[in-house]
Amino acid sequence: MKLRLLLCAIAAFFLPLAGSVAAYYAGDNARDWRGARRDSTGLAPDPASTREAVIQVYSARAVRWRGAFGVHTWIAAKPRGGAEYTRFEVMGFGVGNGRQAVRVREGIPDGYWYGNEPTLLRDLRGGAEVDAMIARLHEATGRYPHANEYRIWPGPNSNTFVAYLARAVPELHLELPSTAIGKDYLPDGALFGTAPSGTGAQFSLLGLLGITVAAEEGLELNLLGLSLGVDVWPPALKLPGIGRVGVPEHVPGSAMWGVRRLEGEGEGGALAGGAAAPVAAEAVRP
């Protein structure tokens, strides 16, 4: 009986992952990433016509074979009246040659990630309150303890960094995709921490074994960096490699929910209509 339960648990983690790998290599993923698209997808509002402060969070399938397993995440932000977006992200390119893993720089906020179309996870807009959140993102970036480290697995990586920023600015209520491998790696080797969404708690042993219980994330089990879980509302399963399967959550910025505005700026309230954005397998509620 115990052996059967163990085999079922192993199958629950690794069969969906095998399906994700098979689907990845059966698709059009043999392109040369060095010449792949990095241009804008049009998901971010144009700074020239948008005075309000903006914070957006994106995910996209990782580069090359890593895309079969998970996603890369980043944050883009623009203060009130700002003419450019700043991207907050971690990249492994050049770290072995002494370059910092943390990259905070002006750039395209919503670009294809080496040919992979991004999904909008969070879209906050407003005035002084959003400006203050952007300042706290900068402050938290300066405190990130792994600025010069990058490990694809189990972390610290790009998702470890974004999860760290989310914990530092809990007003984001950021539920990262279950396919964001590395999000459960707690900085400085901590065993316990707040869930990235700020709505619960988690235990993690170096990102290799752990559990998260939170209002946004639901129940997630982590084994070897892979997440298997259940979201209570809207109901869904979270499968390794595949992500969310079930009732879709609608991302702020979609036609259904609109963007989330924390201050009026003349728009008058919590939710206002926005441009349509792709609603992918994993998104968060406003």
Q: For the segment 30-73, what is each residue's pLDDT rounded down to a tens digit? A: 566 677 788 899 999 999 999 999 999 999 998 877 777 889 99
| Max Cα–Cα distance, the chain, nearest Å | 64
Tokens of 19: 């399906």
- Residues 160-199 pLDDT 10s: 999 999 999 999 999 999 999 999 999 988 999 999 999 9
End-to-end distance of the chain based on CA atoms, in angstroms?
A: 43
DSSP bridge partners of 192: 203
Closest CA to 261 of 82, 133, 139: 133
Question: What's the pLDDT score for residue 281?
Answer: 32
Quote the CA–CA distance of 38 and 157 in Å, as a whole number: 20
Quote the CA–CA distance of 207 and 66 in Å, as a whole number: 17
- Contact between 76 and 87 under an 8 Å Cβ cutoff? The reply is yes
| DSSP reduced 3-state for 166 | helix
